[in-house]
Structure 1
């Protein structure tokens, strides 16, 4: 072929070829293969090169079009044998375009580019060439980082009677952009060819996906601007818009993403729930709650309804950043949008109230939780009891403990010790005796460190208090 040399690959290309070969499926690990195809594959993998044709003849198998295609799919590891089989089968029946395309792909993936182009010329004579043939050629060259040959292959398409249209352009762009850090090279080809072949939404989408993969925000903005100028706005290009916005969010340019969202909304091209889900995941990883809530509000106001998982994810982010007001706002709007809070929803907010030491709000929210049959977890109960004593609301702490006992929210141990220590710090020794006896009856573990703290406090109170502690201690000692 003119202008395309069959040069040797470098070390990186060789390693890449080895990885590609490892992806080829063998007949040995294909349980769905037919018995005839398996028999032929056995010959192609085991017979000597000179004995393949006679071995194939001896099988008595008629190589139908379907059988030829089936065998070729499992012979990528044995290109020489596959060629011999292909020629043998061609004597019985004329090959289909699909079979020819498989052979072109097989030869290209094995770096047998001279035989590959021989096959292309044969296909031209048979009038079987099409864009899929060249898509395979583009991929084979780009997989080996031979981008110049891939582009030259595009340039000679018309000599082989295949039209250079936007589908072919996009196929080559995709093959180049699939390789690491090659979007700039794809852009060079794009800029050269766009004056001859007008790009479509897919052309820009491919480039935008490349920029997203490489994290190149500046180039993504430039390409997006070119897209809007060239082909205008259309809901059909939503995947390109999604990719562009995702690139901005990943690049921590959320303010710009929000501005573009406003423009898109004005042009009836607002992205779908998929983008918002992806963007929120990114922002959560960045722990960026202000921008997350801004995107969230745009999403909901546009009529896109998040599900329970999205609500919980968002509420979790807000609670981690102590934004309790927005967490409550989302909790209140959930039923309106058909998403009903679960135990996780309530417990995340409950925990946030504990962290922020919202004593009054915690008590009210606890009542709401039990009213809705969404009780706090045992660990949240323990933290709440400690916080309520620190916030001088011991009755609320006792109420939580009693609820745990009545509803068997186990394990009790951490909460029990928090209750005893809280009562001890307030000097409520009679209550300690009552609760400690009940705990010991229930075989709840009272920690040694708690007993030491109680002992110090009781002994400071005098003889009567000391006797009370000794009574508790004797029971504790024998539990």
Structure 2
């Protein structure tokens, strides 16, 4: 059995970016680029605090803000520019968060899905009469919006499938498989897969990967492996690529020992490749089993594959997670000595680890080493540098780095924007955070749930209702689904800000969507209502929690019944 103290997935605070597929893409791209970073970063890599550095860098402090006494958004003290797109907000109404009035087809459909959620026949009749023309783009937008509401997603998917002249694509089917797997509706997931199999030509390794990942994530290890053994019945080959998918799935879900045992069996019939061993090395490293990782590197050589930069970087990341920077340094030297120089990803991993350890100067020293090696920074490097500077309180430096990225041929990515917004929100720079969001809107970069989470948290904490409403409406317009975590954040934040009416409405919306609130969320809200003597609201919340728990129990009962009927048949 794996030890319980396994390393968390990835070292990235700003998103999961360190998966093997991403690594291989990054290494391929990085190897085709040479040169040095010009101008912009030089000023941030002096290893001692020079006399030229302003006082705010040496002794970072959060700039003071005026106190807010009402729900209106007020600019910070000494604000220099106005965020014009906030000005025309209407009065805050939580009940509108999922019902934004718009002529867009997705909003028409969304209103029907939510109002007729529990009556598929009525829903289908309403959809037939709503005047919406079905297209792959529309279906995918709706599924993305309701990726945390499997009932609404499946109802719409089934209706769309019956429309004359429309056929769901492989991508659409894969999205539905992933939604059902994510919500642990595995019987229904298999129904969709069987439908894909009968149609033919729809099931790919991507489909199988999604199935395995969701099964493995639910602890269904045997079912995960059974998918591989039955892969030929799905129209796919049992070969090195499919073997690597199942091994990678098990390793990512922290079950590297099962992956190793499976490899010992499959390896007798299916030849491994270098990626096979890199998957296992990465799995051992994530489990902090470094001796096994190094042994696998030796085994790799026995099969005729030399450890590559991916192999070494997995070890580097593992030692970084242990703050064993002595071994990290030794590995960097070994890589250079063996003609396998560290890539931009390797350097980024090390620099980020130093930053998380609050050793900012050491992080900047790694940048200097990378620059001297001729390795050019990429977007992930910049993301890490922005994160490090932001966490150290150097928000102006972080902003400067962000603005200089295009000058060095790097377009800020979604993760770049998310990282900058996150560190700005952490320091309560309200207007600056909204300004970055505005810039993001003007770029071709589309926000996701991680973009809005720190903003929602900050404005909940400040009780800034008008801005909070704007952000929630903006999320819905961009088909960003509010998940359980987002709802919980809103309820907790509004409780702390003593906005209990809003907290109650979000709690109710959560239950309406079929989500079961965590007990801690329920407890906090109930205690606040009790403290404020809001008895009627407290009773309503208790009723909603009972309803959610009853729905959960009913769902379990129905799944058990389906399972017993299947076995009996």
TM-score, normalization: structure 2? 0.42
Higher CA-based Rg: 1
Higher relative contact order (CA 8 A, sep 6+): 2
Choose between structure 1 and 2: higher helix proportion. 1
TM-score, normalization: structure 1? 0.49
